[in-house]
Every structure is written in structure tokens, then in C-alpha cells.
Structure 1
């Protein structure tokens, strides 16, 4: 029985705009891949840039080429399949590789009647408590959102400027739970000392990627200077990035879509723990299928 990959591109509308330093999103674009083999179907998805008709036709053509290359393979040759497709230019479309890797693992699990976490050699312990992200908003609108979400144990506030840190004092009058702040690269190195002071005053546990990537010396200055943990996101995309971040951050945020699949994500998580980092598993604004994958 041949392996066959099918592709579907979708634009998913958001209930409300999600604002970050990169602008306001009202919808997201997703690629969904399904892999068929012996009556089993594995599915995977990833974010992709807004697609045009030309891009859609190009991706359909790529999937046709992939089917010709792997049709005689089985999902048990997953590593070989991924390696061969990368050699054939798959790195130009990392979202396809990510989706395929997830779909192949899903297919493997279904074919042997095992959950994917067991295929990966994981314990399957209960998932840690997750945070609810809130996009960058004006103070009044943010407080309204906080009131709606005050039952969540952790809120992650995305900011687009230093000034938004001043909202924390008002937030603390409405919310007593755990707070994380995602800087989204919005601060400058000279802002860090003042930012840490405000975060400490308002009992914020961590700040994620406060400044643009590559500023290792500046991150090193604030790591350990307070109880506020420093998290790398944009600075942490591949395993080799971990070695640049030693003594710079406390936590690394690993996202499947950044690492191009389960295999690389698991490698990064294990390596990060060996080095001494805490590990956060993150996602983008994506489909339920994409978010579910990180819980494996």
C-alpha cells in the first residue's frame, strides 16, 4: 500500500484581533497535511505565510513531487523520509516539513495503537499548567480582558512598548494569579534595568525575549539580578542556539514550528535540560491541531 500525502490550506478567522509588536492579526493561515497508508490517516499542521493562488499551486506541485519520492516508503521510515525531502529542497518550506513530521508520528501511533508520547519514549506525565496569552492592548481594554480571564492560573501579557509595563500596577488590583510578560523584542537594552524593577514590584515571574535577538551580553547582565526569570524565544530556534544562551537566560521557549517537527523539538528539550535550562513549550496563534501537538 502506497503512502500518499494530501494538503489543505486554510485561513482561520480569530474571534478578536490579536496584537503584538508585529501588528494586529484578524486571521491566521494554516497548512494541514494528511498522510494515508494502509487505511490509517495521520494529520499534522503548521502556520504558513498568507498564501496567494500562485503559492497554493506551488505547494500542490511540491506535494505531488513528494508523493512520487516517498510513495514506496512506510511511516516506519520517517527519519529517512524527512531527510530525503530536506535534501530535495524541503528547507525552503519548513512549515511543510513540520506538518509532515507531525503527521507521520500521528500515523505511526495509529498504526501500532500507541499514543505518540510512548513512541517518543516519554512518560506521559500530566501536562504542566499552561498560560493564557493576551495581546498588546491599551490599559482600559486590557483591564476588561483581565477581568474576563481572572480565573486562569497564569496570564501571559504581550507588550509592544516599555510604557505597557506601567499597566501592571492596575492589573494587580484585578488579578492575583501568576503573571508572565512577553516582551516580543519590544524593549531596548537600556530599558532592561527599569523593566526588571517594575516586574519585581508587581510580582511578575518571568519576562520572555525582552530585547531583539543577538544581544547576549545585555541578557547576561540581568540574568540572576532578580527573582524575575529571563526566557529566550526568538533567540532560540535550533539546538546550536542553546550554547549561545548559557549564562544569558534561565528558560528556553521551544516551539515545534520553529524547530521543524517533533524530533528536533525533543532533541532541543533534552539538550536544554542537560545544559541546565528550564524548558517552556510554546505555540503561535494557530489551530487546535497545532496547539495539541505540543502537548505530546
Structure 2
């Protein structure tokens, strides 16, 4: 019996060169999954990130390994299938996320309901998403800010140097709310100095100022920071959350680094129990991956679901964004189809 799983890798050129503290990219290679059964097709996406030890090659290898595991399985036995995927892919969160998204999309289509209804989530409580501005020269920063004019909130990427130049360029161009993401670029002393300055510039929060390994530095910085600190690279799974409460005010959960919707929900629940605020973020993904996050977004405080807007062209018919809010319709499953 053939496996219900198939996949392909697609090259996705970016609208602008994407620069963060770790480097620059102009193209992404994501892996797209389909699960087929009972006349329905569920779609999923893997957006692997080298920061978490994954690439499109490792995702493909993991999916080749998984395909025979799913042969002959009844996908309606959702929990059993999901546990089999977890067991087969313990160290491949993006690959696991792709299959998890596809299974949820398939299940929603079988039942004829959107994912948010399956999860008991109110789509009307969708927070606004930020629009990310990568590190760049002043002229290109100005272009990016103009392109993001319809978003009430920006996320500005900062690195180890040019902090005041990059941020100051953006701030001089707009009165929009700004969040900052340092992507592990700073040391504790300089992080505190940067954050103290940023607190005078109308910044809402600072994401991952220190390397994830600097646990003691995070505790030291949290005790002194005038702005909320949000963990990103420090977090991949629910069991990471309790110890982060000592170093951060909130966490950033991403489906691609957590392995999909099921683990993301566990992370959100654990964060709430630990008194942490929650951001829902993304990698550079198409409208397919972004849609999955959008169905969970009403459960969190902050949203950063803009990955598809960084692409030169989105191969999926993404949910529209109106004044920064993703508009989820009544379509079954994720509600997104290929163009």
C-alpha cells in the first residue's frame, strides 16, 4: 500500500535581501508536504532553519524515513498517527511541523470546518501582526518602512553593531509601534545599554538580546531591563518554558521550531502557567505556514506572522491582512490552497 505522504522542495526568492544578526539570505528553500486520503488533500510546509540544525536536505531525509511509517494507517486515528510521527522524527522539528500541519489541514477538510473551530478558537480575537524590517542600509530601510505603512506594528532586526543607526533610521521615518529583535547578538553589558537607549525611543519589547546559552546573563538582564524581554532562540519545546521565566517576560513560539500545532499549544499552555506572555512567530514561510499560525494567534498576546510577505511571490493564496490583522475565512482546514 502506498504512503499517503508526498513532498517537494521549492526555491522561494525573497523580495529584499534578508539580513539579521546571523547573516544574509536572498532565497529560501522550503519543503511542501501533502497527505492524501479519502479524496482529501492536506497541505503542510517545512521552513527549516540552520540555527536549529535543519536544512531542506535534512527535511527531505526525514520525510523519506517517515513515508513508510504512514503506509496503511487510518489518518482518522489522529492521535496515533501524530504519535508515530513524533517517534519517527524526534530531532526534525521543521519536518515534523510540515506533516503536523498537513494532518490538521486534512482533518479539517474531512470534517468540513476551519482549524480554528477544531481548536475552539475565536478568530475575531486575532491580534495585529508586526511586519519585520531586516538590517539594511538607510535607503533600503526607507523602502521597507514605506512598504510596511499599513501595519500598526514593526519588528526591527538589530545586530552587534550599527544599533542606533539602523533603529534611528527607522524611527525617524515612522511613529508606528516598534518591537526589536537582536537574534542573540549582544553581550549582557552592551544589551543593557542598548535596551536603556531603546526604552527612550518608543520600543514595546526586545526579543532574544543574548545568546540562548547565556542563561545567567538572561537572569541578570531581566532584573535590570526597563523593557519586556522575549525568548526566541532559547525556546523550542514546552519543557524549556519553566526555566525561561527567570530570564524573560515572554516567549516566542514558532510552529517550525516546536514541531507543529500540538507542541505549540503545549508551549502556550505552559507559558501561561508560568506567568509568561506569549508571542506567536514564524520563519520565512509561504501563506500556507502562516495560515497555520494565524489559527492559533487568538491565543497569544503578540503576533509576528509576516514570513510570506518577505517573499517575492507567494505560491499559496494567503489569507488577506487588513490593518495588520490576518483575516481567517470559513474555509476548511487551514483555508489555504496552492495558486
TM-score (norm 2): 0.79
User: Equivalent residue for 1:74?
Assistant: 74
User: Equivalent residue for 2:191?
Assistant: 192
**Quick one: structure 1 residues 70 and 263, their matched pair in 2 at CA, closer, same or farther if it must change by over 3 Å?**
same
Most deviating of 23-32 and 74-83: 74-83
Q: How does 1:117-266 map to 2 (within 5 A)?
A: 117-223=116-222, 225-266=224-265
Which consecutive unaligned segments of at least 5 residues does structure 1 have? none
State the Cα distance separating 1:16 from its structure 2 match: 1.7
8 Å CA contact retained: 2:108, 2:118: yes
Name the SS for the 1:221 alignment partner: helix
User: Equivalent residue for 1:27?
Assistant: 27
Which consecutive unaligned segments of at least 5 residues does structure 2 have? 49-53, 296-339
State the Cα distance separating 1:263 from its structure 2 match: 0.3
State the Cα distance separating 1:60 from its structure 2 match: 6.7
Q: 2-side partners of 1:118 and 1:72: how far apart? A: 28
**Quick one: structure 1 residues 253 and 37, their matched pair in 2 at CA, closer, same or farther if it must change by over 3 Å?**
same
The structure whose Rg is larger is 1
8 Å CA contact retained: 2:9, 2:32: yes
State the Cα distance separating 1:118 from its structure 2 match: 2.1
TM-score (norm 1): 0.89
8 Å CA contact retained: 1:20, 1:184: yes
State the Cα distance separating 1:253 from its structure 2 match: 0.2
State the Cα distance separating 1:140 from its structure 2 match: 4.0
8 Å CA contact retained: 2:46, 2:59: no
State the Cα distance separating 1:92 from its structure 2 match: 4.2
Most deviating of 166-175 and 105-114: 166-175
Q: 2-side partners of 1:101 and 1:264: how far apart? A: 10
User: How big is the alpha-carbon RMSD for the aligned residues of Structure 1 and Structure 2?
Assistant: 2.3
Name the SS for the 1:27 alignment partner: strand
State the Cα distance separating 1:171 from its structure 2 match: 3.0
- Which consecutive aligned stretches of 4+ in structure 1 deviate over 6 angstroms post-superposition? none
8 Å CA contact retained: 2:13, 2:27: yes
Q: 2-side partners of 1:214 and 1:51: how far apart? A: 25
Name the SS for the 1:173 alignment partner: helix
Q: 2-side partners of 1:225 and 1:291: how far apart? A: 34
State the Cα distance separating 1:81 from its structure 2 match: 1.6
Most deviating of 99-108 and 78-87: 78-87
**Quick one: structure 1 residues 147 and 167, their matched pair in 2 at CA, closer, same or farther if it must change by over 3 Å?**
same
8 Å CA contact retained: 2:47, 2:256: yes
State the Cα distance separating 1:35 from its structure 2 match: 0.7
Comparing both chains, which one has the higher relative contact order based on Cα–Cα distances under 8 Å and sequence gaps of 6 or more? 2
1:62 matched to 2:78: no
State the Cα distance separating 1:155 from its structure 2 match: 0.8
User: Equivalent residue for 1:106?
Assistant: 105
Most deviating of 106-115 and 225-234: 225-234
Name the SS for the 1:236 alignment partner: coil
